[in-house]
Structure 1
Amino acid sequence: MSARRAVLVHGAWNGAWAWEPVLPLLRHNGIEPVTLDLPSSGKDGDLNDDVRPSAR
């Protein structure tokens, strides 16, 4: 069986930290959560920043 994964995207006034209470529950049920911070949730970001590939 392949691993199950869930991508969790926060709302406008939150960050990836907002999912912290949910992460253990997902892992307990065999789902690996992936969280991220959207640049548009900051004071200087916009939608273009959200879709721009990161320079990792």
Structure 2
Amino acid sequence: MRQGRKMQMLSRASSRILQADRREALLLDDLEEDLEFAEDWAGGGAAPKKDDREEK
């Protein structure tokens, strides 16, 4: 297999992986915003920041 074709295949594979990671990050960000909104709406005080939740 020629080097150019290998690089093209690797580039496509890495692009798919990065797109999936980006999609997951965007979904998690949306879920975090929804969680904070729900906690505020329910009157449960201030929602903990993302950094505070990760430390536990």
Is the radius of gyration larger for structure 1 or structure 2?
2
TM-score normalised over the length of structure 1:
0.30
Using CA pairs below 8 Å that are at least 6 residues apart, which structure has the higher relative contact order? Answer: 1
Higher helix share: 2
TM-score normalised over the length of structure 2:
0.30
